[in-house]
Structure 1
Amino acid sequence: MATVKVKFRASSIADREGRLFYQIIHNRITRQINSGYKLFPSEWDILHRNILPPNCEAPRHAYLVALKSRIADDKARLERIVARLEHTGESYTAGDVATRFLTPSDTGGFLSFARSLIGQLRQLGKNRTAERYTTVLNSFGRFRGDVEVTWDEMDSDLMIEYETYLKSRGVCPNTSSYYMRGLRAIYNRAVDKEMTVQRDPFKYVYTGIGKTVKRAVPLQVIRQIRDLDLASFPAMDFARDIFMFSFYTRGMSFIDMAYLKKKDLQNGILSYRRQKTGQQLFVKWEKPMQEIVDKYDTKATLYLLPIIRDMNADARRQYKNAAHLVNDKLKKLGEKLGLTIPLTSYVARHGWASIAKSRNIPLATISEAMGHDSEKTTRIYLASLDTSSVDKANSQILKAL
């Protein structure tokens, strides 16, 4: 009969967490399964092969308590698999036990369904949703050690354990909520397809959206960024230009700048739809915007800015690579200026709103989308704005610069 043991392997690097794994031995053949769980050596009882009674502060204490329960559940499940295989009277291997543990049913579980769903979304061209679900699933998969989750296991207890796991790793409440809302969306799709019944597994975890601290810089810092001589650093110079273009256009988001096309600029008005909400916006074309556009050769593309450069390559991949490069260079630029906050393209958006507000421009005129509690409020304000007053406000800010 196969035996199941819980083992701990310490990290080769001092002060790093080690890994827990399950060892299955049958007919002198050993198979190991990575649990995906991590511990410090001081938290593991070698003699009893169990977690030591936690003597630490929250949230680490809560994490260890939850982890102890999860290990016991996994070990019990492995032993049930062994018992069922023994009951059949047929020969089996340690590998058979591991395989049944990792793929608990022929129809698959939550992780299998989620991966299949992501593939379907990509085929339908819904790349943004697929990317979001992939990010969420990667986090949840790390928590589970990529071990399949049966539909019966998808309950409120598991979600509470996952939330505790996220807290123990310093994940902020808004990010934790982002993961939970993504998992909930995937789970609800499974319910709709009658893969499982609705058990409301997310009813005890946080799925709200809290206010975030605005990342804004004053006008003098924007001016410093604009006036820096970066001729010897073309990549940083490009990042600065994208940052300034965002500021000039009332805090346009990076993805919206990436997909701007030359045809969007007509008769001195730049019109575009926000990728995030579909809201159509109009921006009066100003001299500093034109100076940035003139600086770069985009003759070979349909796009206004040199972010998506190759018309034969995947546009979204180019946008994402450019976003990573720009934000990396902006971060270095911010460090060079001694800023107390990380400089990103998003800072231009908050910066415009903050500066406009400080100049007593009416809140209804400002794209206070950046400060409202919900997207619904944002749409109400944007829908009711007088475009001319917005352009006038933008002109005031650019003149002050």
Structure 2
Amino acid sequence: MATEYTTIKAILFKSKTLSNGEHPIMLRVTKNRVRKYISLGISCHSKDWNEKDNLPKKSHPHKSIIDKIISKKVAEYNDALMNLKSEDKDFTPDVLINKASKPISKITVFNFFEQKIQQLKDAKQIGNSKVYNDTRNKLKKFLDNKDITFSQIDYNFLLKFETSLKADGLSDTGISVRMRTLRALFNAAIEENYAKRDNYPFHKFKITERYNTKTQKRAITKEELKKIEALVFKQGSSEFEAQQYFLFSYYGQGINFVDVAHLKWVNLIDGRIYYKRAKTGTELNFKLPAPALKIIEFWRISNNPPKDDYIFSILNKQTHITPTQQHNRIHKVLTRVNQDLKEIGKMAEIGIPLTSYVARHTFATVLKKSGVSTAIISESMGHQTEAITQTYLKSFENSIIDEAMENLL
């Protein structure tokens, strides 16, 4: 395949002569011999045009003005060309012209924040909408409620915003979340033509290099899980429910707490659970092993429960109707569950603080120790990439290295 070339230059369009005897000055976009012409709204007589430089001759009375108009337009089209190439998108001259000539729409940063927050709420992504809302509030505090445009967000602006977040006592993880949210908003603004890609400040302000956000992903052993399973609590108590949720997550392919809360009887078909991950929208299903079936049976109120009833008693379809009500309820119950799990961990003499997420990490680690490939573990957990799964398995990999090092002694 031949290399594709794109050229952008101003030319005197002699095929057309105006009533004053001059010819239009056009911008010519050429890609693989396909040419398109864009009028610049200016003209020049052939005797005043330098064919070699594609500019008016020095003797032209308005040379400096025409030079600036041409230079500005060529720069705009070259910027659009670079953006298309950076996105690795195939394009025609018409696509390039459309991208370069499309004017930037006007919207303030806070108004765009409002739009995105509402979009997330409409999509029932309540947790994400709250992250955007919190980032907006932090930015409003930093700016003393003065609105700005995206063109005002540059590298120095981000440095000052970072300093204000540190002054508020935010950790590296907390600052990273706000900066990544602002970056996502800026990217969305570029896509919706509210911001220019050449003003993008996050190429220089590299979030991943500025903050230490690594948290240790912890798992327990299968033996420790059996100790948790052996503990006996009064049925219906908060400790009993915390224990059951933890075990169901482990036996239920590492299903996380939010998805456990949303499970309904309609999701249970022939001993399998079919559900869509709230976080990613990935559709998953898994066969329920005997311990997980036993846990579900405790919550079964009849032989044929209504299909739209929740399996577990985290949500109530009569009370928790809106996405916000459901989000708040799940957050409240999860806080209590994690508190109970920490006490359960102490009872079982487990050396790390027990949380609902430990069950998910344990599921992944036990499979890895059993020889299951990372790719299969990633698919079973609904991860979008294997790199995410690797973070779950990091502590396992470290332990293998530690055991190998013993051979040196």
**Taking structure 2 as the reference length, what is the TM-score of the superposition?**
0.56
* 2:304 maps to 1:295: no
2:384 is matched with which residue?
A: 375
Question: Deviations for 1:43-91, whole angstroms, at most 9, x for unmatched residues?
Answer: xxxxxxxxxxxxxxxxxxxxxxxxxxxxxxxxxxxxxxxxxxxxxxxxx
* 2:341 maps to 1:333: yes
Q: Which moved more, 1:211-220 or 1:119-128?
A: 119-128
Instruction: Check 1:187–1:360 CA distance in 2 against 1; reply closer, same or farther (3 A cut).
Output: closer
Partners of 2:249 and 2:230 in 1: CA distance? 16
* 2:248 maps to 1:245: yes
Instruction: Check 1:365–1:117 CA distance in 2 against 1; reply closer, same or farther (3 A cut).
Output: closer
Contact 1:368 1:378 in 2 (8 A): no
Instruction: Check 1:289–1:145 CA distance in 2 against 1; reply closer, same or farther (3 A cut).
Output: farther
Task: Using the TM superposition, give the Cα deviation of residue 125 of structure 1 relative to its aligned residue in structure 2, in angstroms.
Answer: 4.8
**Taking structure 1 as the reference length, what is the TM-score of the superposition?**
0.57
Question: Superposed, which structure 2 residues align to 1:156-235 within 5 Å?
Answer: 156-167=155-166, 171-198=170-197, 199-208=199-208, 212-231=215-234, 234-235=237-238
Q: What code does the residue aligned with 2:207 have?
A: T
Q: What code does the residue aligned with 2:176 have?
A: S
| Structure 1 unmatched ranges of 5 or more | 1-106, 382-401
Aligned residues: 273
Task: Using the TM superposition, give the Cα deviation of residue 346 of structure 1 relative to its aligned residue in structure 2, in angstroms.
Answer: 1.1
Contact 1:178 1:207 in 2 (8 A): no
Partners of 1:313 and 1:233 in 2: CA distance? 21
Contact 1:240 1:330 in 2 (8 A): no
Instruction: Check 1:244–1:145 CA distance in 2 against 1; reply closer, same or farther (3 A cut).
Output: farther
Task: Using the TM superposition, give the Cα deviation of residue 246 of structure 1 relative to its aligned residue in structure 2, in angstroms.
Answer: 0.4
Contact 1:369 1:378 in 2 (8 A): no
Partners of 1:315 and 1:290 in 2: CA distance? 29
Contact 2:277 2:283 in 1 (8 A): yes
Partners of 2:236 and 2:141 in 1: CA distance? 39
Partners of 1:177 and 1:366 in 2: CA distance? 28
* 2:313 maps to 1:306: yes
Contact 2:242 2:340 in 1 (8 A): no
Name the SS of the counterpart of 2:217 in structure 1.
coil
Task: Using the TM superposition, give the Cα deviation of residue 304 of structure 1 relative to its aligned residue in structure 2, in angstroms.
Answer: 2.4
Name the SS of the counterpart of 1:375 in structure 2.
coil
Partners of 1:130 and 1:233 in 2: CA distance? 33
Q: Which moved more, 1:209-218 or 1:272-281?
A: 209-218
Partners of 1:223 and 1:264 in 2: CA distance? 27
Percent pairwise identity? 27
Task: Using the TM superposition, give the Cα deviation of residue 367 of structure 1 relative to its aligned residue in structure 2, in angstroms.
Answer: 4.0
Partners of 1:336 and 1:124 in 2: CA distance? 36
Task: Using the TM superposition, give the Cα deviation of residue 257 of structure 1 relative to its aligned residue in structure 2, in angstroms.
Answer: 1.5
Task: Using the TM superposition, give the Cα deviation of residue 163 of structure 1 relative to its aligned residue in structure 2, in angstroms.
Answer: 2.8
Task: Using the TM superposition, give the Cα deviation of residue 295 of structure 1 relative to its aligned residue in structure 2, in angstroms.
Answer: 1.7
Match of 2:326 among 289, 295, 318: 318
Cα RMSD between the aligned structures?
A: 3.5
Instruction: Check 1:359–1:377 CA distance in 2 against 1; reply closer, same or farther (3 A cut).
Output: closer
Instruction: Check 1:326–1:234 CA distance in 2 against 1; reply closer, same or farther (3 A cut).
Output: farther
Task: Using the TM superposition, give the Cα deviation of residue 142 of structure 1 relative to its aligned residue in structure 2, in angstroms.
Answer: 4.3
| Structure 2 unmatched ranges of 5 or more | 1-105, 391-409
1:352 is matched with which residue?
A: 363
Task: Using the TM superposition, give the Cα deviation of residue 364 of structure 1 relative to its aligned residue in structure 2, in angstroms.
Answer: 4.2
Question: Superposed, which structure 2 residues align to 1:71-86 within 5 Å?
Answer: none
Q: Which has the larger radius of gyration?
A: 2
Q: Which moved more, 1:260-269 or 1:317-326?
A: 317-326
